[in-house]
Amino acid sequence: MSSISHSKKRSAFMRVFSRGPYALLLWLLLIIGTVELFVRLAPMEQLAQTGVFLADQRSSLLEAATPTYDYIIFGESRTLSIKGHRPTPAADWSLYNFSVPAMGSHYYAAFLDKYMHHRNKAPAALIFAGDPLLFQPGWNRPLHDPDQNYTDGRNTSLSAYLWNRFWRRLQAAFGYYELHHNAGAMQEMLWSSFSHRYLHLFSLGQSWQQYHGPERLFMMYEQLPMQYYTWRWREPLAHYILGFRASYFKTHDLPGDCFQSCQATWNSACYPGIQRMQQNKLVQGLLDANQGGINLADMRDPGKRLQYMSLADSLIQADVKQSQVSSSVVDTEPLLALLETARRYQIPVVFAFAPVAKAYRQLDYYARFEQQLRDLIQARKGTVAEIVFPDRWLEHRFFVDTAHYTCEGAELVNKDFYQSVMPQIRATFPPRRQLARQGVAP
């Protein structure tokens, strides 16, 4: 009797599932759940655009408990060109380049927190090699209100934001207050192009801790849908399913010397128009070989690279002109946040700014930044230092555009880094295990 009763119950359930009023909903949930499970199990990052893949790779490595490194580099696009170092019998120390393009300066403190959260060994030093221009106020604008019509900065309280939004709009309606819309279009373009850096590098909980007030609400609005992986990876899903082409899964045989020398970067056989999966595997191989370093300009095919190089001088001059009319004020808030986070973990910070085009030397901002940096170093003797590249201002021929080196430029920067900068860093802040062998407390 029990088996008959059980069979009847199962039959009743199947009737509801197949023909009942909830059948469509149940089938829809089943399909959604199946797709979500597939997306969570599949290596979707391999199908994403290279920028998203790089951000996801950085996040995974930051959250790993191992390996630990003797030195780590933070920076941006240009800084990525500095190769890391794997321990050898002759040089028993490690260096990994964690630079991420187009993130601004606000995230560096959270980046260091993320690195140290699962690791029980701090690096001997954090090397900050990014451009000082990252500490201009424009890089630290609120993401939700880039024109700052209703906020005074990223840390404005929610109550102040809501009041300003009501009161200033009321004033603007009667001509007593002018709402600005200068930065909005540019910020929207940047968010559309680079928001994956924020959304893939940091989890929902990490973003909650990192932001405050209306900025936190904005990030939660963006982050919550990312917990559903089908939404998180919607772009590669659409690319490979809705825009399916057999060529997406084709792989090309590349010459063995691709990206091994500057001469090889001009070999058109190394740029056959490879698809995302092969491109991301290639990028991962270079990151592994160079301990996080990669010269992004070398990934462009020779034809596009030549086009950029022909315009490099005019692009640099235009950017310098734009920077001259921008604020020359140094926004020390994210800089101090990074130094405070490093102090908490007892990590010395070395500023070794990667060289920029010589046209930028005329900007007053750099002199202002250097003065404020000297004051910070003076107040934190023994834990903060600056080490300068032999040639901090390079000829324009070493740049593909305003933000990326040519292959020759990257080679020059790496030569100067390992022959001049890194020996000084190691002498000032030796690896902790070396101090332990000498009986010195790290």
> What are the tens digits of pLDDT across the range 296-353?
999 999 999 999 999 999 999 999 988 887 767 899 999 999 999 999 999 999 999 9
Sequence-distant (≥ 6) Cβ neighbours of residue 413 within 8 angstroms: 81, 82, 354, 355, 389, 394, 405
Residue 208 — very low, low, confident or very high, per pLDDT cuts 50/70/90? very high
Of 13-17, 218-222, 272-276, least confident by mean pLDDT is 13-17
Residue 153 has pLDDT above 60, yes or no: yes
pLDDT at 358: 95
Residue 23 — very low, low, confident or very high, per pLDDT cuts 50/70/90? confident
pLDDT at 74: 97
Return contacts of 263-268, CB within 8 angstroms, 24+ apart.
265/298, 265/302, 265/305, 265/407, 266/302, 268/301, 268/302
pLDDT at 241: 86
Residue 244 has pLDDT above 90, yes or no: no
User: How does pLDDT run across 414-425, given as a tens digit for each residue?
Assistant: 999 999 999 999
Say how far apart CA 332 and CA 137 lie, in whole Å.
9
Share the mean pLDDT of the chain.
89
pLDDT at 104: 82
Specify whether the CB–CB gap between 230 and 237 falls below 8 A.
Answer: yes
pLDDT at 13: 58
> 382: part of which helix (H) or strand (E)?
none
- For strand 384-386 and strand 95-97, is the pairing parallel, antiparallel, or unpaired? unpaired
User: In this prediction, what percent of the chain has a pLDDT beyond 70?
Assistant: 91
Report the amino acid identity of residue 427: A
Of 121-130, 281-290, 304-313, 317-326, least confident by mean pLDDT is 317-326
pLDDT at 365: 93
Residue 214 has pLDDT above 70, yes or no: yes
Residue 76 has pLDDT above 90, yes or no: yes
Residue 139 — very low, low, confident or very high, per pLDDT cuts 50/70/90? confident
Residue 437 has pLDDT above 60, yes or no: no
pLDDT at 434: 64
Residue 190 has pLDDT above 60, yes or no: yes
Question: Token pair of 395, please?
Answer: 């000829």
Of 152-161, 200-209, 305-314, least confident by mean pLDDT is 152-161
pLDDT at 3: 55
pLDDT at 325: 74
Domain ranges (residues) in the chain? 2-41, 49-147+182-437
Residue 80 — very low, low, confident or very high, per pLDDT cuts 50/70/90? very high
pLDDT at 5: 58
For the CA atoms of 399, 401, 407, 408, what is the dihedral angle to 10 degrees? -10
Strands (E), 323-411: 349-351, 356-357, 384-386, 393-394
Residue 189 — very low, low, confident or very high, per pLDDT cuts 50/70/90? low
Residue 270 — very low, low, confident or very high, per pLDDT cuts 50/70/90? very high
Residue 246 — very low, low, confident or very high, per pLDDT cuts 50/70/90? confident
For residue 128, list its beta bridge partners: 74, 351
**131 vs 25, higher pLDDT:** 131
Residue 233 — very low, low, confident or very high, per pLDDT cuts 50/70/90? very high
Of 252-261, 289-298, 323-332, least confident by mean pLDDT is 323-332
Say how far apart CA 279 and CA 136 lie, in whole Å.
34
Specify whether the CB–CB gap between 137 and 370 falls below 8 A.
Answer: no
- Region 163-173: what's the mean pLDDT? 90
- Region 45-65: what's the mean pLDDT? 93
Residue 185 has pLDDT above 80, yes or no: no
